Amino acid sequence: MQELLDLAQGFSVALTLPNIGFMLVGIILGVLIGVLPGLGGANGVAILLPLTFSMNPTSAIIMLSCIYWGALFGGAITSILFNIPGEPWSVATTFDGFPMAQQGKAAQALTAAFTSSFVGAFFAVLLITFLAPLLAKFALKFGPPEFFAVQLLTFCSFVGMSKEPPAKTIAAMMLGFALAAVGMDSVTGQLRMTFGVPEMLKGFDFLIAVIGLFGIGEILLTMEEGLAFKGKSARISPKIVWETWGELLKHWKLFLRSTAIGCWMGITPGGATPASFMSYGMAQRMSKDPKGFGKGRIEGVVAPETAAHAAGTSALLPMLTLGIPGSPTAAVLLGGLLIWGLQPGPMMFVEQKEFVWGLIASMYLGNLVGLIVVLTTVPWWAAMLRIPFAVIAPVIIVICAVGAYTVHSSMFDVWLMLVFGVVGYLFKKLKYPLAPLVLALVLGDMAESSFRQAMLLSQGKLSIFWSNPLVGSLTALALTMLLWPVVQRFTSRQPRTALGSVGTTQPAKSDIGGSV
């Protein structure tokens, strides 16, 4: 009951005229970011974050979160109409979405995708509404050992659940830790790895790194690939919307199952991409006609979109309650909160109650506004994709440069952004994951502080991480996740050998997508 009263207060904050305006601007910018190649939710939020420094934190986070919702909606447009997944989790949507567009059912596919996105995000926000206060109260009992154990669990989960080889994930994470250590030690005041460069005293700003790694890196890769747009056009009429909604009601079990998968993968640091492929594969296995998937089945659009958006939204739950981001976008939002002087975690629900519930209320409103905007403006966004990429790319690069310069009003940051852009490009070419690097860069300082505080409390004894059932179970779970790839390889060695002696088979389409 208290949660409903707090939510009502949050709506009174979110429904002020300026915040409604910021919400609408955020949705439109987000859809634009989701449609344009070389961008995405995390990239768009990172690029536009400097523009919010002078804003009220509540209005700023509402606009940034709405940019995220809009980007999630916009990614489905490119996947279905042009067979170009704007984000990794949109790959599974192309399997049946693009065939539907080729069959003249583009409007039905888009309506199904947008509705599924709305449903997945809505249930995830419900989860945040009722679970976040309970989790925050529980987290008030946490001390430095418990916080470090949670952070260790986050890092180890990225290693254990990543689709990339564990060695690559660990290498990316170690680089992020090294970058986070540059600058002045917050405990002793000593300089670390500055190499006599005054600009390095403040360390590597995560925002500069994110703009370069995601924005510039993706642009360089897209330029190399010579992206061209050849796709279908679509116009969604009210009649098609009602007919599609009537058909979607028959798949309510699929919605519930996909939402559950997405929320679980969002709260645990699995991410939206594994959630979308897992949900698609589950829908295919439980279908009465599994062979029809990949040929234009509406279930093949509903399953990945629902799960991906449920995962992307529920990833904000650990970010708000524990200060642990569950996705790259959540990591960028976490950095924004720190810049505004807000410390995510259990105390924020006590000290910044108006801010937290205003944000949660804006999630409901932003999701609804986003659905209405994309349903009514699809032809405009599809038409924008026909603008030559040679025109779009320089505009994006200029926006990135302006955003990087705005952080500290320093040209050194612009050059640093370009360096990180090259690093991002190399990571993508060499198939190294960027999410662990960004996670370590954002959480490195916090994890180091928690560890050092725990060591001071225990006088240097590691046994403090097993000193009570809570921290002991978290540490044990973290180590299990870290060693999970080794256990998986050991247990699957015998079946793989047996399969190898029989021969090879063509992988299923969901398996092909899963390797992207």
Asked whether residue 453 is domain-assigned, the answer is no
Asked whether residue 454 is domain-assigned, the answer is no
User: Any idea which residue has 């969002």 for tokens?
Assistant: 266
In percent, the amount of the chain with pLDDT more than 70 equals 82
Which helix or strand (DSSP H or E) is residue 183 part of?
strand 183-184
Residue 67 identity (one-letter amino acid): I
For the chain, what is the largest distance between any 2 Cα atoms, rounded to a whole number of angstroms?
70
CB of 301 within 8 A of CB of 100? yes
The candidate with the shortest Cα–Cα distance to 407, out of 236, 210, 150, 166, is: 210
Tokens of 103: 């069959």
User: Domain span at residue 302?
Assistant: 2-143+205-415
How far apart are the C-alpha atoms of 72 and 455, rounded to whole Å?
Answer: 42
How far apart are the C-alpha atoms of 405 and 393, rounded to whole Å?
Answer: 19
Show the 3-state SS of 85-132. CCCHHHHHHHHHHHHHHHCCCHHHHHHHHHHHHHHHHHHHHHHHHHHH
Report whether pLDDT(6) > 80. no
* Per-residue model confidence (pLDDT) at position 240: 78
Asked whether residue 488 is domain-assigned, the answer is no
Tokens of 179: 């970058």
* Per-residue model confidence (pLDDT) at position 269: 56
| Number of domains, the chain | 1
Task: Report, as an integer, the average pLDDT of 472-476.
Answer: 86
Task: Report, as an integer, the average pLDDT of 217-228.
Answer: 72
Task: Report, as an integer, the average pLDDT of 41-54.
Answer: 71
- The per-residue pLDDT for range 285-339, each reduced to its tens digit, is 788 877 778 788 888 888 888 988 888 888 888 778 877 776 667 777 777 777 7
Look at 69-83, 428-442, 493-507 and tell me which has the smallest mean pLDDT: 493-507
Task: Report, as an integer, the average pLDDT of 109-132.
Answer: 87
Task: Report, as an integer, the average pLDDT of 164-189.
Answer: 83
Query: In 3-state terms, the chain is what percent helix, strand and coil (to 5)?
Result: 80, 0, 20
CB of 431 within 8 A of CB of 438? no
Look at 56-70, 75-89, 90-104, 404-418 and tell me which has the smallest mean pLDDT: 75-89
* Per-residue model confidence (pLDDT) at position 512: 33
Report whether pLDDT(174) > 80. yes
The full DSSP string for 216-243 is IHHHHHHHHHT-----------HHHHHH
Report whether pLDDT(282) > 60. yes
User: Any idea which residue has 């009601």 for tokens?
Assistant: 249
Asked whether residue 444 is domain-assigned, the answer is no
DSSP state for residue 326 in the 8-state scheme: S
Report whether pLDDT(268) > 50. yes
* Per-residue model confidence (pLDDT) at position 100: 84
Report whether pLDDT(275) > 50. yes
Report whether pLDDT(356) > 70. yes
pTM above threshold 0.75: no
Which helix or strand (DSSP H or E) is residue 168 part of?
helix 166-180
Q: Which CA distances in Å does 404 have to 206, 317, 420, 427? A: 11, 28, 11, 21
pLDDT level of residue 514 (50, 70, 90 thresholds): very low
Asked whether residue 176 is domain-assigned, the answer is no
Asked whether residue 272 is domain-assigned, the answer is yes
How far apart are the C-alpha atoms of 315 and 120, rounded to whole Å?
Answer: 13
| Count of other CB atoms within 10 angstroms of residue 129 | 20
Task: Report, as an integer, the average pLDDT of 447-462.
Answer: 85
Look at 274-278, 310-314, 380-384 and tell me which has the smallest mean pLDDT: 380-384
Asked whether residue 190 is domain-assigned, the answer is no
pLDDT level of residue 506 (50, 70, 90 thresholds): very low
Report whether pLDDT(462) > 80. yes
Asked whether residue 437 is domain-assigned, the answer is no
CB of 108 within 8 A of CB of 244? yes
Cα 161–Cα 314–Cα 35 angle in degrees, nearest 5: 90
How far apart are the C-alpha atoms of 376 and 462, rounded to whole Å?
Answer: 58
User: Any idea which residue has 């870290």 for tokens?
Assistant: 482
- The per-residue pLDDT for range 476-499, each reduced to its tens digit, is 888 887 887 777 777 766 554 444
The candidate with the shortest Cα–Cα distance to 264, out of 272, 197, 206, 103, is: 272
